[in-house]
Amino acid sequence: MADFTDLGVKDIRDGVASGEFTAREVAESFNAAVADAAVLNAFIVTTPEHALAAAEKVDADRAAGKQLGKMAGVPIGMKDLFATHGVQTTAASHILEGFKPEYESTVSSNLWAAGAGMLGKLNLDQFAMGSSNETSYFGNVNSPWRKEGSNAAMSPGGSSGGSSSAVASRIAPAATGTDTGGSIRQPAAFAGICGIKPTYGRCSRWGVVAFASSLDQAGPMARSVEDCAIMLEAMAGFDPKDSTSLQMDVPTWEAGLSADLKGKKVGIAKEYRMDGTDEAILKSWEQGKEWLRDAGAEIVDISLPHTKYALPAYYIIAPAEASSNLARYDGVRYGLRDLPEGAGLQDMYAATRAAGFGDEVKRRILIGTYVLSAGFYDAYYNQAQKVRALVARDFEHAWAECDVILAPTTPTASFPLGSLNEDPLTMYLNDVFAVPASLAGLPAMSVPAALTEDGLPLGLQLVGKPFDEQGVLNAGLAIQQRAGFTAKPEKWW
């Protein structure tokens, strides 16, 4: 059997369209690679039959001379936060174990309508809360990357760690992710792949298990900027079922790609020079400036003065919204029900929630309930909302001076699984560069930039104006072309 697993979205789509190979051959190849990589624990369930059925439909459509979709013949991984009809959807939690939705999320429907197939449901941090993929009820996800000369299991990042691990290990050409405060960008950076969180509202949240609704956004994770552009076009679009969905046409991002940045200004925020950032990260940031200059851009200094308050504000707002969203898991409607002998309704709620949620999820529910409680609402929640407005305003001022902002994606490269578990604050710091754009609802992307001395990937982040995914993708493309990042993890699985 020919091996197609090194191919990305564009290669597969074009190869299937031209008849160079069939969608079925591609699906078979990735299905086999998924089955062979169980030790990565990237998937919670695999759905090879879904991938094959979608591929056969594409092959039949092609034979019948029908118009093929944007993702025709591309089998992808679906983060297990997206409801998939008849296929278990858990958000990596025990409380949703066994839940098979009667409906399909808008984003996944859009992808199937564009001709994509599903390899399976990808593991993640439980309810998308985490930065290392260690809070899943279904076990840690392993990164395919290892430090040179070490066998220590490394974190693929989180919460979209199943997605980053699968795409980096080439068991999927692309995957969906979701980003509330960094969960597409940080795992993309850790795994040496690309990932873009679009402007809030671009992708429908309908059918996506809610974490913090004012922040949650879906986006693609793939190995190139082009592949992200193609997949985002297929995912995005107005959806009347999501009241925060943007009523705007989906731009033709793929056709609009250009790495020529002449006339563009790239902002460098002085507040992003933070203590605790690795030397290697600072070096790659410098290198990134050089690359963008080489692409024709002018580099300008900017200030985002409220940056240091963004992370604390996020860790009030996100848990507050989570505590409300997660109130629906009560043992009555979905998944797990723990009904002790002789128990009443309240006991059932308590027993189900005690057994069904993991520690990190409980921590967030407790924090969220606390900051929303009568005596503390003004001191914490309202204050955090004010900070959020100030962070957003910082960006609005910055857009008077630049078109796109270049920053590191993360303060460090990946770390060994288990090394930060006892230290939630350091874990939260992973998203220090990612969270400001989330609070402001801006499009932001991570692109692989370099390897550290011990062989781990580093990402650079581009943040754009509202609705300017094109500007983000184009600056990302300029970096991709100059970074020439071709490193791939050595197969040990």
Q: Which residues make up the interface to ligand GLN (CB under 6 A)?
A: 128-131, 159, 179-183, 211, 318, 431
**Which is closer to ligand GLN, CB of 154 or CB of 402?**
154
CA distance 286 to 131: 25
> Least distance to ligand GLN from the beta carbon of 72, Å?
30
Encoded tokens for 203: 């992708």
Task: Specify burial of residue 340 (Cβ count, 10 A radius: 0-12, 13-18, 19+).
Answer: exposed
CA distance 122 to 102: 19
Q: In this structure, are residues 439 and 392 in contact, taking their beta carbons and an 8 Å threshold?
A: yes
C-beta atoms surrounding 250 within 10 Å: 18
**Which is closer to ligand GLN, CB of 130 or CB of 443?**
130
Specify whether 183 is catalytic. yes
- The DSSP output letter for 329 is -
All residues at 6 or more sequence positions from 285 whose CB lies less than 8 Å from its CB, including other chains:
406, 407, 408, 460
**Which is closer to ligand GLN, CB of 27 or CB of 129?**
129
**Which is closer to ligand GLN, CB of 212 or CB of 456?**
212
All residues at 6 or more sequence positions from 487 whose CB lies less than 8 Å from its CB, including other chains:
192, 451, 455, 457
Active-site position among 183, 204, 414, 438: 183
Specify whether 147 is catalytic. no
The DSSP annotation for 228-243 comes to HHHHHHHH----TTST
Buried/exposed 329-338: b ≥16 CB within 10 Å, e otherwise: bbbeebbbeb
Query: What is the number of H-type helices and E-type strands within the chain?
Result: 15, 11
> Least distance to ligand GLN from the beta carbon of 181, Å?
4
**Which is closer to ligand GLN, CB of 47 or CB of 414?**
414
Phi first, then psi, for residue 301 (nearest 5°) are: -85, 135
**461: nearest Cα among 415, 392, 405:** 405
> Least distance to ligand GLN from the beta carbon of 299, Å?
29
> Least distance to ligand GLN from the beta carbon of 445, Å?
14
Sole residue written with tokens 């002789």:
342
Q: Which residue's C-beta sits nearest to ligand GLN?
A: 183
Encoded tokens for 394: 């910082």
Encoded tokens for 3: 């091996």
> Least distance to ligand GLN from the beta carbon of 128, Å?
4
**79: nearest Cα among 211, 218, 242:** 218
C-beta atoms surrounding 328 within 10 Å: 10
CA distance 28 to 32: 6
Sole residue written with tokens 């011990």:
454
> Least distance to ligand GLN from the beta carbon of 185, Å?
9
> Least distance to ligand GLN from the beta carbon of 182, Å?
5
**Which is closer to ligand GLN, CB of 145 or CB of 211?**
211
Specify whether 213 is catalytic. no
Active-site position among 155, 159, 165, 323: 159
Q: Sheet holding 404-408: strands in order across?
A: 43-46, 117-122, 75-79, 174-179, 217-222, 194-197, 444-451, 457-464, 404-408, 265-269, 298-302
The DSSP annotation for 69-105 comes to PTTTT-EEEEETTB-BTTB---TT-STTTT---SS--
Active-site position among 10, 29, 70, 79: 79
**Which is closer to ligand GLN, CB of 193 or CB of 297?**
193
> Least distance to ligand GLN from the beta carbon of 315, Å?
8
> Least distance to ligand GLN from the beta carbon of 187, Å?
9
Which residues form the catalytic set?
A: 79, 159, 183
